[in-house]
Structure 1
């Protein structure tokens, strides 16, 4: 048995990664700030395997620790952490609010720090794998992206440093940096026809599964993934 925890797992990339891992035989815990959303996702995912829905806010360290404790209580271990929860606030620095800045940094960067810190003891025991979901915006800046760019540039650097810290324990750490993905991110409503050119969430799920199957000796520490033919 192997166990994965996915933050922000009720929809989009997180949901698709959960489905992919369940199909591979993993037990999967998904977290969301909204327990209703988490339960609705779990009611669909249970078709594929053993899934646990947890209400947790990555911006709150104790909330993350409580979530990890629930997973340990249920399954006794954690083999994989997918730090996926993220938000976006896009505006010129002239219009970006203090609350927008704090929400973005606290979720996309500090929230990942909290998720890793809370699960680290468990992952050390299994010599597990930590994934963070960054973005091509973590190396490519754009107008109106000061908060989002800062959070994702920071996340990319943070993950690479954590990779160096933890590989001595036999823990793999990778960051995945997608371009345009057909998800509900930033209140977007995916459209099968209009979004057909984009990366699909299940593509990220397949990527995670492939990376988990890499030989122990090999670590793809940073993976950029983008649409083959962008609009």
Structure 2
């Protein structure tokens, strides 16, 4: 498919995991991609793996810094002339109960997971209004339900979930769609240590109707669908990409 021929797609947190898989999917469909992350080496390695490096812009940036985000959008416009899709994927997590959490834990998660999404949306919207483009936020199942020991992360992703809905309301009549994906446990650098814990993974497998966690490509494919014209009447949706996890009412498996 070539659904994104000559479309310009900005992907934050592109250096690994869902971000990298999403970049590969868009590039395979002929998009011009802007790879954003804090580590240039990771971005350049990914760029070298994409089919046409002339259609790739590597732009290291910290999305929690508004000035850097505005510089990112300026660089994308200077290189490609337009912005059609923004994928807000950059994120961090802290697994602590509140009595054990420091101010820095809260601030770091909120600055990246919430401020970063806000800064990127605000800076990209003037350009998306011109192209009638769209935004895909990467929230989480942790943004539509709670986890044990993850209240800070839950708060940040809950903010992304409802921000997605409100932004879709505000800009639907401008021709800009806004959606989010809500993945369950997905293989990435962020979750690498979890995948090394066989006992923990067995617990996840028992709770998952599919019996396994997600691969990043499986989330990237859904992001590409939501960004495409195939989803042209879909907006304001927080779509679980969770192997059926959210279909459960929480009771244990009995068979």
Please say whether Structure 1 and Structure 2 have the same fold, judged by a TM-score greater than 0.5: yes
For 2:235, the equivalent position in structure 1 comes to 219
Give matches, 1:122-137, under 5 Å: 122-137=127-142
Please give the alpha-carbon distance, in whole angstroms, between the structure 1 residues aligned to 2:52 and 2:213: 27
Give unpaired runs (5+ residues) of structure 2.
1-5, 206-210, 247-252
Q: RMSD over aligned Cα, in angstroms?
A: 2.3
Please give the alpha-carbon distance, in whole angstroms, between the structure 2 residues aligned to 1:213 and 1:26: 14
Please give the alpha-carbon distance, in whole angstroms, between the structure 1 residues aligned to 2:195 and 2:32: 28
For 2:213, the equivalent position in structure 1 comes to 198
SS at match of 2:243: coil
Give unpaired runs (5+ residues) of structure 1.
none
For 1:207, the equivalent position in structure 2 comes to 222
SS at match of 1:204: helix
Summarize deviations over 1:67-115 as a string: whole Å, max 9, x none: 1111100100000000000000111111111111100011001110001
For 2:250, the equivalent position in structure 1 comes to none
Alpha-carbon distance, 1:219 to partner = 3.4
Q: Comparing both structures, which one devotes a greater share of its residues to helix?
A: 2
SS at match of 2:233: coil
SS at match of 1:5: strand
Give matches, 1:108-187, under 5 Å: 108-186=113-191
Alpha-carbon distance, 1:228 to partner = 4.7
Q: How many residues align?
A: 230
> Is the deviation greater in 24-33 or in 210-219?
210-219
For 2:60, the equivalent position in structure 1 comes to 55
Higher CA-based Rg: 2
TM-score by length of 1: 0.92
Q: 2:19 aligns with which of 14, 17, 24?
A: 14
TM-score by length of 2: 0.84
Please give the alpha-carbon distance, in whole angstroms, between the structure 2 residues aligned to 1:133 and 1:28: 17
Please give the alpha-carbon distance, in whole angstroms, between the structure 2 residues aligned to 1:63 and 1:229: 37
Is 1:85 aligned with 2:90? yes
